Amino acid sequence: MELKSSNRSHDGTQGVYTHSSTATGTEMEFSVFVPDHEDGEKLPVVFYLSGLTCTQANVTEKGEFRAACAELGLIFVAPDTSPRGEGVPDDADGAYDFGLGAGFYVNATEKPFAKTYRMREYIETELPALIGAEFPADMTRVGIMGHSMGGHGALTIALRNPSAYKSVSAFAPIVSPLNCPWGEKALTGYIGADKATWREYDACALIEDGARVPEILVDQGTADNFLEGQLKPELLTQICEKTGQPLTLRMQEGYDHSYYFISTFMRDHLEWHAIRMKS
């Protein structure tokens, strides 16, 4: 692991790191904010998964999480959204919603993406092990959250691994890739045309198939350009009501899909995670 930058902020340290990933076979970059703490103290951890076109830099620079994390005693980890570098395949037409910056937190099985696009393995296994080994992290108290494509990642990863996470939340998540253009394009390209194999990457399908977490928090802006065509939070509401999966969905009037929206409600989410990681 190599330290790329380190800055003092809000009584803590914001670092950006790179390492050679065994999951993706590439160099991966991530950021970690660690609040000041007593020697030997272990702190709970929140993983934040970013959305389409983003790197870890978007939330690190615009998420406004550090003051809340310092007050709550939370380590905040933000990985990249896809593998990058020489030899990593991209969308043939350079589209924003597939390829680089659009890993969708899956383990790809289709060529040429299967070799490097293994973001599921990276987030579920490799990165948590690295954080636990290199930082003062209590890996028995972990939460996960994300935005848009990263909200999809957070929900599906928590639903597949309920014992690994104390809490899960999302900002404007893609709740059902089976039922939106972004998901159809990405999962066809990464996983193949058989939609039965997509269900493990669809939060609504996972809940329908029996996956459960203690509760889910979602914030969604009513002025989000992607609300009706891509995000469809009503599908999550319907399946949670049908199955009894606890869900708090807050429709935030006038907010869009940007970090103006995310930063406004970031503290709410971090406080929500902190409470659940103490219980």
For residue 136, say if its preceding peptide bond is cis, omega within 30 degrees of 0: no
Q: Which entry of 21, 31, 50, 148 is annotated as an active-site residue?
A: 148
Residue 148 annotated among the catalytic residues of the structure: yes
Q: How does DSSP classify residue 79?
A: E
For residue 20, the tally of other CB atoms under 10 A from its CB is 11
Is residue 183 within 8 A of residue 177, CB to CB? The reply is yes
Token reading at 72: 């709550």
Exposed, middle or buried: residue 18 (CB in 10 Å: 0-12, 13-18, 19+)? middle
* DSSP H or E stretch at residue 2: strand 2-8
Token reading at 99: 């390829």
Residue 20 annotated among the catalytic residues of the structure: no
What distance in Å separates the CA atoms of residue 98 and residue 95, rounded to the nearest whole number? Answer: 6
What distance in Å separates the CA atoms of residue 60 and residue 157, rounded to the nearest whole number? Answer: 21
Q: Which entry of 80, 97, 202, 224 is annotated as an active-site residue?
A: 224
Q: Which of 34, 16, 40 is nearest to 73 (CA)?
A: 34
Residue 176 annotated among the catalytic residues of the structure: no
Q: Which entry of 147, 257, 269, 273 is annotated as an active-site residue?
A: 257
**Long-range contacts from 36-39, C-beta under 8 angstroms, 24+ separation:** 36/11, 36/12, 36/70, 37/73, 37/136
Q: What is the dihedral angle through the alpha carbons of 77, 20, 90, 80, rounded to the nearest 10 degrees? A: 10
| Active site residue ranges | 148, 224, 257
